[in-house]
């Protein structure tokens, strides 16, 4: 095995991309994991205390619980409630090492990856880099709207919302006030539905208290979906119940409608409808994100990497892909597995066992996904659940959603904080402090200033 070289690097600015990132010398097989999402961390948990050296690389130093990003965006939770430091996660795992770095390129011929901090050698490479917002080539929408894929997006949405509500209280221009208080969410999947429900509750319970100078009815919430139903991956019952819940909360749901343009002030749809709004949140699609170096012929629809039944990237012997970027195409899954947390976790656990078997020259079985069901919430006491043959909605579904999500959060302290916030909100409808910590500026305004 190649012996690792070490370099003394005192300042980030002195580190060259060709320098090797310092790691302890070892004769154990090296497993490098790129990405600390659900898939990456599930793999780490499987490989801890095993006879391998595990190197986790991520551009952030924390794991984020993405299913609750919308609650941070609507001031229901503080950001530190749903993020957890990697180093705290791996504390006590003597064979696991975290390095804060962003991977730039993979060099399969030399079993090396290049990062913005230096290079790392590997025996086995696992790509678990997840997905990013897909604006489907609409540059104007990308520049003027906000996605909701990480904690920074959530904070941007929160600051945009609060700044616009404050400005609405200042302006005497009725048209401008309408634009500032209209919210458009694009995408009727779980993220869009949950965001719309949370905003509707903010409008109903928080707006009248914080902004008594204008009625809550001034805040309009639109949910736009390109097909004829919400939550298309769930049952018809879940879809119809969700639509009813949102309409009861005064959300204006537009089905069979697609956004064609957004200039920061006006949303235009393909049927030529226009909505005046300075708040657009995009949850309509995702695409895989991964470093350079993977042959394009192994990349399929959605910018996902095609793998075989063992999650090995086609064309490579020691590179694997798991989570949102992995596309295991088969007769049973012609479009790959769903890009959800339970898929990522199952693939991470499976691959941990598989890599250990490969190292020990044991046979490995193909990956089999077990669908444990789907849940989505539409505000307090309202949720839908598809659990095999059991499909139900209402309070019990909401209670189940709450328990499942609370137990899935990393760290006892985080679970305690989220549980406490939910309890307070349940009885008082109060949310966390609605503070504008930093001034939010749209990407389009920054781009114009730089010209």
Tell which of 360, 392, 420 closes a domain: 360
Question: Is 159 part of a structural domain of the chain?
Answer: yes
Tell which of 315, 330, 360 closes a domain: 360
Residue 6, pLDDT above cutoff 80: no
Nearest Cα neighbor of 53 from 117, 123, 2, 102 is: 123
Choose the weakest-confidence range: 102-111, 359-368, 441-450. 441-450
Query: Can you give the pLDDT at residue 212?
Result: 87
CA distances from 259 to 138, 271, 282, 283, 351 (A): 10, 9, 10, 12, 39
By CB neighbour count within 10 A (0-12 exposed, 13-18 middle, 19+ buried), where does 360 fall?
exposed
Q: Does residue 293 share a domain with residue 268?
A: no
Query: Can you give the pLDDT at residue 13?
Result: 41
Q: Does residue 294 share a domain with residue 417?
A: no
Residue 80, pLDDT above cutoff 70: yes
Question: Is 70 part of a structural domain of the chain?
Answer: no
Query: Can you give the pLDDT at residue 448?
Result: 54
Question: Is 373 part of a structural domain of the chain?
Answer: no
Q: Does residue 386 share a domain with residue 273?
A: yes
Residue 3, pLDDT above cutoff 70: no
Tell which of 329, 360, 391 closes a domain: 360
Query: Can you give the pLDDT at residue 421?
Result: 84
Q: Does residue 201 share a domain with residue 182?
A: yes
**Structure confidence by residue, pLDDT tens digits, 146-190:** 999 999 999 999 999 999 999 999 999 999 999 999 999 999 999
Question: Is 64 part of a structural domain of the chain?
Answer: no
Mean pLDDT of 54-72: 96
**Structure confidence by residue, pLDDT tens digits, 117-147:** 999 999 999 999 999 999 999 999 999 999 9
Residue 451, pLDDT above cutoff 60: no
Arithmetic mean of pLDDT over the chain: 91
Q: How confident is the model at residue 16 (pLDDT cuts 50, 70, 90)?
A: low
Say which CATH number the domain at 245 has.
Answer: 3.50.50.100
Choose the weakest-confidence range: 107-111, 185-189, 216-220, 336-340. 216-220
Q: Does residue 274 share a domain with residue 178?
A: yes
**Structure confidence by residue, pLDDT tens digits, 307-358:** 999 999 999 999 999 999 999 999 889 989 999 999 999 999 999 999 999 9
Residue 166 annotated as catalytic:
no
Q: Look at the chain and report how many structural domains it folds into.
A: 2
Name the CA dihedral angle for 404, 410, 411, 416, rounded to a multiple of 10 degrees: -40
Contacts of 338 (CB under 8 A, 6+ apart): 233
Instruction: Quote the pTM value.
Output: 0.90
Question: Is 69 part of a structural domain of the chain?
Answer: no
Q: Residue 45: which domain range?
A: 30-59+101-133+287-360
**Structure confidence by residue, pLDDT tens digits, 349-381:** 999 999 999 999 999 999 999 999 999 999 889
Question: Is 84 part of a structural domain of the chain?
Answer: no
Query: Can you give the pLDDT at residue 412?
Result: 85
Query: Can you give the pLDDT at residue 445?
Result: 58
Question: Is 374 part of a structural domain of the chain?
Answer: no
Query: Can you give the pLDDT at residue 286?
Result: 92
Q: Does residue 262 share a domain with residue 164?
A: yes
Q: How confident is the model at residue 193 (pLDDT cuts 50, 70, 90)?
A: very high
Q: Does residue 271 share a domain with residue 123?
A: no
Say which CATH number the domain at 321 has.
Answer: 3.50.50.60
Query: Can you give the pLDDT at residue 425?
Result: 80
Query: Can you give the pLDDT at residue 7?
Result: 37
Q: Does residue 262 share a domain with residue 178?
A: yes
Q: Does residue 268 share a domain with residue 237?
A: yes
Contacts of 83 (CB under 8 A, 6+ apart): 62, 63, 64, 65, 151, 414
Question: Is 306 part of a structural domain of the chain?
Answer: yes
Query: Can you give the pLDDT at residue 413?
Result: 84
Q: Does residue 422 share a domain with residue 390?
A: yes
Residue 50, pLDDT above cutoff 60: yes
Residue 246, pLDDT above cutoff 50: yes
Q: Does residue 273 share a domain with residue 176?
A: yes
**Structure confidence by residue, pLDDT tens digits, 396-423:** 999 999 999 998 898 888 888 888 888 8
**Structure confidence by residue, pLDDT tens digits, 262-299:** 999 999 999 999 999 999 999 998 999 999 999 999 99
Q: Does residue 274 share a domain with residue 419?
A: yes
Per-residue three-class SS string for the chain: CCCCCCCCCCCHHHCCCCCECCCCCCCCCEEEEECCCHHHHHHHHHHCCCCCEEEEEECCCEEECHHHHHHHHCCCCCHHHCEEEHHHHCCCCCCEEEEECCEEEEEHHHCEEEECCEEEECCEEEECCCEEECCCCCHHHHHHCEECCCHHHHHHHHHHHHHHHHHHHHCCCHHHHHHHHEEEEECCCHHHHHHHHHHHHHHHHHHHHHCCCCCHHHCEEEEECCCCCCCCCCCHHHHHHHHHHHHHCCCEEECCCCEEEECCCEEEECCCCEEECCEEEECCCEEECCCECCCHHHEECCCEEEECCCCEECCCCCEEECHHHEEECCCCCCCCCCCCHHHHHHHHHHHHHHHHHHHCCCCCCCCCCCCCCEEEECCCCCEEEEECCEEEECHHHHHHHHHHHHHHCCCHHHHHHHHHHHHHHHHHCCCCCCCCCCCCCCHHHHHHHHC
Structure token digits, residue 101: 């770095």
CA distance 78 to 386: 29
Catalytic residue among 143, 194, 201, 314: 194
Three-state DSSP state, 395:
helix
Choose the weakest-confidence range: 11-25, 326-340, 426-440. 11-25
């Amino acid at each position: 095995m190649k012996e690792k070289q070490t370099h003394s690097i005192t300042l980030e600015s002195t580190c060259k991309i060709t320098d090797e990132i310092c790691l302890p010398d070892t004769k154990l097989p090296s497993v490098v994991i790129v990405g600390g999402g659900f898939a990456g961390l599930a793999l780490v948990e499987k490989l801890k205390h095993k006879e391998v050296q595990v190197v986790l690389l991520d551009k952030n130093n924390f794991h984020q619980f993405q299913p609750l990003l919308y609650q941070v965006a609507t001031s229901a939770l503080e950001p530190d409630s749903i993020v957890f430091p990697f180093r705290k996660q791996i504390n006590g795992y003597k064979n696991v090492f975290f390095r804060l770095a962003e991977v730039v390129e993979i060099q399969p011929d030399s079993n090396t990856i290049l990062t913005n901090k230096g290079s790392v050698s590997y025996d086995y490479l696992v790509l678990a880099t997840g997905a990013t917002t897909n604006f489907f080539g609409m540059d104007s929408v990308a520049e003027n709207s906000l996605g909701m894929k990480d904690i920074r997006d959530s904070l941007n949405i929160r600051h945009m919302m609060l700044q616009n509500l404050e400005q609405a209280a200042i302006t005497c221009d009725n048209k401008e006030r309408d634009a500032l208080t209209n919210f458009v969410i694009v995408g009727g999947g779980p993220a869009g539905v949950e965001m719309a429900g949370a905003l509707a509750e903010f409008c109903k319970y928080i707006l009248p208290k914080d902004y008594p100078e204008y009625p809550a009815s001034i805040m309009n919430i639109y949910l736009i979906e390109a097909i004829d139903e919400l939550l298309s991956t769930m049952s018809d019952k879940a879809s119809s119940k969700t639509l009813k819940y949102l309409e009861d909360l005064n959300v204006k749901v537009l089905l069979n409608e697609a956004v064609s343009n957004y200039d920061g002030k006006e949303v235009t749809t393909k049927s030529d409808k226009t909505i005046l709004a300075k708040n657009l949140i995009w949850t309509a699609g995702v695409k895989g994100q991964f470093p350079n170096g993977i042959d394009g012929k192994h990349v399929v629809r959605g910018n996902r990497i095609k793998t075989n039944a063992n999650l090995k990237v086609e064309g490579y012997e020691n590179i694997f892909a798991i989570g949102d970027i992995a596309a295991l195409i088969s007769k049973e899954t012609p479009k790959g597995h769903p890009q959800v947390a339970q898929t990522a976790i199952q693939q991470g656990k499976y691959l941990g066992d598989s890599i250990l078997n490969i190292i020990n020259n044991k046979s490995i079985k193909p990956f089999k996904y077990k669908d444990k069901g789907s849940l989505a919430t539409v505000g307090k006491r309202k949720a839908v659940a598809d659990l095999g043959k059991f499909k139900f909605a209402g309070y019990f579904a909401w209670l189940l959603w709450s328990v499942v999500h609370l137990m899935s959060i990393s760290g006892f302290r985080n679970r305690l904080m989220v549980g406490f916030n939910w309890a307070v909100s349940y009885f008082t409808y109060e949310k966390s402090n609605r503070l504008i910590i930093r001034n939010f500026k749209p990407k389009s305004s920054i781009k114009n200033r730089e010209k």
